[in-house]
Structure 1
Amino acid sequence: MNTTNIEKNKSILVIEPIGMGGELLLKAIRSLGYYTIIATTEYVYNTMLQNFKDMIDDVIYIDFSARESAIETLVDESKRKGVAGVVVAWEFLTDIAAEVAQQLNLCGPDASLSRARRNKYIMYRALSQAQCPRPALQAVLTNVDTINQLPLEELTFPLVVKPAENAASFGVSVLDDDKDLVQAFQNAAQWTHEYPHGIPFSNEILIQEYIPGREFSVEGISVSGQYLPWGVTMKFTTLGKARAETGHIFPAPIDTDLRDEILAVAKQAVIALGITNGISHTEIKLDKQGKPRVIESCSRPAGDYIPRLVELATGENPLAIYARQAVGDLSADFRPAAPKRYSAVQFIRPEVEGTFKSLVIPSRLKNAEVIESRITAPVDSQVKPGSTNIERLGWAIFTANDEQSVLSAMDELSQLTKVGIS
């Protein structure tokens, strides 16, 4: 990474730095020396962001549920405060971030396609128009009563039922037959507003082809329309009717031909969705023929500490690159650093329901170096196995020098971790 031309103390607007991605983004911005202004609510600032206040220089309180007035206020306040760049951590606010950046004439993705990056139904149409490989859409429902009008004999199982505008596996079901179709629809429709900002969701529920193969994501940045990926991340998930992520490895331990196929499809999706500038996270699965298909793509940093894995593997922090580009400090000839080793994160999830008492994560592994770990569930809290990414007790991040070592370390960590639930 070329740091010789970084201009210190530029003001950067961070639109809602909650979640894992927000924490890492704030740290990256602080390391660059930029003046950090965040857009959030007073409730979020005093609760979810209380441990990050030393990385925040100024705050703009915003009601994000009122989209147009939120954009107007952020544009006005950004002009008044001399904001030089706009970045976003919270997936649900990528559309607002794109619009604010465009109105300020700052670096960002195409705002006219921002809804296509948030609503999976609109995204499907944009990917279809670009002939990007994707799961087939079998039906779109807006009311549970319309299930009775579906020609069930024309549905192809297994299939996926999911809401058009949620995230983190909320409301997603994989069905082998139609007997649980009504329940799956109800599960998908139960969240009508985003938390914690109360942003209203659309009411579309998608019934899609199920893609059965391995899961990956691609982490990249676009510079003036040129797509520049750091590489491919391998993903691990739970099984059953609902899927939640249990771990990631970067770079994915796959052959170069498959890697290049995945990168090509990710590039196609990013271009179709107007991510002309800024960071992107594209999720991909392999079909029965082993060919990559795009599940979704968005103009945001990856969650689940994936940016940290990229940094450990390449020596380059993708969130710092994202922030530098946003304020105009990224050189035009930038090229992402190549991976030099493997890195992984593994999430510890409860296997039984009960009261969480303890979690012991090994600090040493035979096959890898443990970089850091964290217990995230409060002691004496009630826990149970679940279908989303929030039923986690803790996590560990580790690195290894070769493909076999990182894969062996995943198994070793699982075997050595001790969970106490009563």
Structure 2
Amino acid sequence: MHLLVLGAWPELANQLVGLPARVSLLQAPGAANAREAAWAHHYVEVDYTGLDQGMRAAAEIHAEDPVDLVIGPREASLAVVGEIARKLGVPSMPGPVESLGADKAEVRRLLNGGGCHQVPYRVCLRPDDLTAFVSEHGFPAIVKPANGFASFGVHTVTGPDDVDPAWAHAGDVGFGAVLAEKLLTGQEYSVETLSVDGRHEVVAVTEKLTTGAPYFVETGHIVPARLDTPALTAVGQEALRALTAIGHRLGPSHVEVIRTEDGPAVIEINRRLGGDRIWELVQLATGRDMAREALLHAAGVAFEPAKVPPNAAVIRYLYSTVDARSVTTLPHNAAAGVPGLVRVEFSVAGGARVRPVLSSKGRLGYVLVHGVDSERAVQAAAQAYDAVTAALLR
């Protein structure tokens, strides 16, 4: 089997080594220092998010050795993955290819029509459209780029004075039209799933920490979520209904869900592994390597998932709520001695000016811990977070 992969971050690229298939890679120039070139069947550095360049490179590879499956592990590559799969006449992961549209309004239409929790929505092309939506459905609402990703451009609208700031925040990120939805209130979770031939499996449920309104930047994740069995089941079932509603059949997904007073409701579906290192939290907590399993499924290889005693993992993201500056020498050892500490990672330079966080891009790093259960892992993560934060900013 010949797999064509568009973009593979280092940990995913490691999973491709030794896979019982020929693996060709389209990588962004300099993304991984070209180290995959040594083992890849074909290795091409190209802006794979650009349709012309990505299509040209894929067609050249396919002409030499026909591709059997196109894989897009990143949201930014999905539009190109879909087009490559259509033009080459091959399947894709995620798939099927006809369901790879990035239009969040279309996804909401499918969810509302597929037996999922009903959420009012409207595509807004100008501020007046947003005003009309909140006039009809009331406050609060949430706006986001109709084709955005991560937390870029997300903003709540709690009253008339929020309409213009929310419109500016959602529109300024440059993803086109703005999607307005009735704001769902409650604790947020995500469901990490694997799908094969339309059969969906819940691998884990993640509890999410955010900054709250107005930007809802994610600041931490807990695996497994601190829910009882009936609540875990309800959240998981809503996610699986959503995957069926949009026609998803192959590959991992990260389904974001709110537990409202009326039951779980889907916020978004991301047809990829959970970002923010959720895939690593899942592996630490369950022993399941979702990336490897998805690739083995893609290659048609039979295997048994790993079986380990259940435990837990937590990540807490570092961020600032004020204008500040990081210390010159970053405090890599500030959390030394915290039980279960896996690592401390910084994404800010020493002595850099930092501002209050408005999106995931403004976070300063993270602490990651592993524990025997969620409560103890949460306590250890809080201890590590407090120690590092106290030493990081001045």
- The answer to whether structure 1 residue 126 and structure 2 residue 136 are counterparts is no
Q: Within 5 Å, which residues of 2 pair with 1:5-404?
A: 11-17=2-8, 22-30=9-17, 32=19, 36-40=23-27, 44-46=28-30, 48-50=31-33, 57=40, 58-64=42-48, 66-67=50-51, 70-71=54-55, 73-101=57-85, 103-106=88-91, 108=93, 109-115=95-101, 118-137=102-121, 139-144=122-127, 146-147=129-130, 150=132, 152-192=134-174, 201=175, 203-289=176-262, 291-331=263-303, 340-357=310-327, 358-360=330-332, 361-365=334-338, 368-404=339-375
C-alpha distance in 2 between matches for 1:340 and 1:415: 27
Question: Take 1:350 and 1:287, find their aligned partners in 2: how far apart are those partners?
Answer: 29
Question: Which secondary structure state, in structure 2, belongs to the residue aligned with residue 362 of structure 1?
Answer: coil
Q: 1:155 to 1:214 in 2, by over 3 A?
A: same
Q: What is the rounded CA distance, in whole Å, between the counterparts of 2:33 and 2:112 in structure 1? A: 43
SS at match of 2:293: helix
| Matched letter for residue 315 of structure 1 | G
Residue matched to 1:196:
none
The secondary structure found in structure 1 opposite 2:344 is: strand
Q: Residues 105, 370 of structure 1: CA spacing in aligned structure 2 closer, same or farther, 3 A cutoff? A: same
300-309 or 100-109, which deviates more:
100-109
How much is the aligned-residue C-alpha RMSD, in angstroms?
2.7
2:144/2:178 contact within 8 Å kept: yes
The 3 A distance-change label for structure 1 pair 51 and 73 is closer
How big is each residue's C-alpha offset from its partner over 1:35-61, in whole Å with a ceiling of 9 and x where there is no partner?
543223xxx422x43386578734334
Higher RCO, 1 vs 2 (CA within 8 Å, ≥6 residues apart)? 1
Deviation digits for residues 377-400 of structure 1 (CA, Å, limit 9, x no counterpart): 122332211221111222122111
Counterparts of 2:38 and 2:154 in 1: how far apart (Å)? 35
Q: Decide which moves more: 247-256 or 349-358.
A: 349-358
The runs of 5 or more residues in structure 1 that have no matched partner are 1-9, 193-200
Give the whole-Å Cα distance in 2 for the aligned partners of 1:338 and 1:262: 23
AA of the residue aligned to 1:381: A
8 Å CA contact 2:21–2:299 kept in 1: the answer is no
Q: Distance in 1 between matches of 2:138 and 2:172?
A: 24
Deviation of 1:152 (Å): 4.9
Which ranges of structure 2 fall in alignment gaps of 5 or more residues? none
Distance 2:387 2:20 in 1: 40
Work out the percentage of aligned pairs sharing the same amino acid: 23
Q: What is the aligned partner in structure 2 of residue 5 from structure 1? A: none
1:259, distance to aligned residue in structure 2 (A): 0.6
The CA distance in 2 between the partners of 1:271 and 1:295, in whole Å, is 15
Structure-1-length-normalised TM-score: 0.83
Change (3 A) 1:224 1:151: closer
Q: Contact conserved, 1:110 with 1:275, CA < 8 A, in 2?
A: yes
